[in-house]
Amino acid sequence: MRTSGPKPKSFRLEESGEEYMIGSEAGAWLKMVRGSLYKRYPGLWRRMASIEERKIICGMGIGLSTTSITLLKACEVEDMAGGDDEQYKGPAAETTPAAKETRERRSAKLNREASWSAHGPAAQAAAAQAHLSSHMDAVPSLTVPAKQRTGPKRLRTYPHFYDDNKLPVLQKAGEQAEVLVPIRLDLEIENHKLRDTFLWNKNESMITPEQFAELLCDDMELPSPLFVQPIANAIRGQVEQHPGDLVAMDEEDRRVPIKLNIHVGNISLVDQFEWDLSCPHNSPEEFARQLCSDLGLGGEFVSTIAYSIRGQISWNARTMYAFGDPPLPTLKSVLRTPIQDTEHWCPRLEVLTEAEMEKKIRDQDRNTRRMRRLAQGW
């Protein structure tokens, strides 16, 4: 079998244990990326590394660019590189009762994912409540787009593009009002996790959710057959559940508190401020750009802050309309008094340690499971 680039480093997790290689590095070396190695050789032994094992591996200076590590036996990878690969083309070797039970749990989990993504009529009310309340929680760390891997260059086929013949259609679409809806994706299918937040124009007519999902899968290097339909269903479901503008624009001083709790990479941003719903000139996107410019934050924070603000605006508008919440006290000065309260109304940046990041990821997974149970009516 032909290989490409340097041979991946092999390592031991125990002094007298088996030698392993990282699956992504072995696949790139064997010129099989994006999971094609496991599809072509289902009998190849593999397992996911635990959190403690990932720490050990990263301490060796290996696998620093991956958030999850699949372990392969080094001897099997070397056999395949030497041409002895027929023995791994058969069924997977996981035939123990524990492995069968794991596959059964995985299958049941995928069935629950499919039913959750379908957005059936019985679950829409609970899903709407879970989605709207999620804006009050911390915005999770987003999935990082896939980096360019070694090996043959992958041809990207984009499902949608514009040309000169569509200029009248573009002009007509540009005349429509822009209604931005905060969209949050939190999917886990066959060991692939996708977390993302963005704004979707409710009046979008030039691209469908399915076409957008294909582009997203292409950027993230996710399997399109598994993720396109759940992503499209999630977008349509959240657009339908969006409450719209429920606060009358002729009201004066309709302020609501907005709280930011955002994590991008190892940086955490916590902030709170008051937002006037009655002012038509307030733009979450402009505010996010200015805040990131003042704090020296990257572009990832801009879209995430705008998503969080718009989500909380929708939440506050809906609760005010439903419960008639009274407005905040009228401002008498531009300075907040007493002065001791100012420290609670200013942005705070924190660089998280690896242990703190792992704890936040566990909390995010726990919150995701809770939201899915609410959506399924469990």
For residues 152 and 263, state if they share a domain. yes
Bridge-based pairing state of the strands 46-48 and 180-189: unpaired
* C-alpha to C-alpha distances, 132 to 237, 242, 255, 374, nearest whole angstrom: 12, 8, 19, 12
pTM: predicted TM-score of the whole model, two decimal places: 0.56
pLDDT at position 229: 92
| Chosen domain end from 65, 88, 111 | 88
Max distance between CA atoms of the chain, in angstroms, equals: 80
d(CA 203, CA 125): 23
For helices 124-134 and 354-376, the axis angle rounded to 10 degrees is: 150
Give per-residue pLDDT as tens, 127-176: 444 444 455 566 766 776 655 444 455 555 555 555 556 677 777 877 88
For residues 21 and 132, state if they share a domain. no
Give per-residue pLDDT as tens, 345-378: 888 888 878 888 788 778 777 776 776 676 555 4
> Where does the pLDDT of residue 121 fall: very low under 50, low under 70, confident under 90, or very high at 90 and above?
very low
The mean pLDDT value of the chain amounts to 75
Give per-residue pLDDT as tens, 184-216: 888 888 888 888 889 999 988 888 999 899 888
Asked if the structure places residue 104 within a domain, the reply is no
For residues 269 and 166, state if they share a domain. yes
pLDDT at position 116: 44
pLDDT at position 120: 45
Asked if the structure places residue 328 within a domain, the reply is yes
For residues 128 and 55, state if they share a domain. no
Range of the domain at 136: 120-378
Asked if the structure places residue 115 within a domain, the reply is no
- Taking 60 as the threshold, does the pLDDT of residue 273 lie above it? yes
pLDDT at position 155: 58
Asked if the structure places residue 223 within a domain, the reply is yes
How many independent structural domains does the chain possess? 2
For residues 241 and 365, state if they share a domain. yes
Question: Would you list the DSSP string of 123-135?
Answer: GHHHHHHHHHHHT
Asked if the structure places residue 309 within a domain, the reply is yes
For residues 168 and 292, state if they share a domain. yes
Least confident of 144-148, 240-244, 263-267: 144-148
pLDDT at position 115: 45
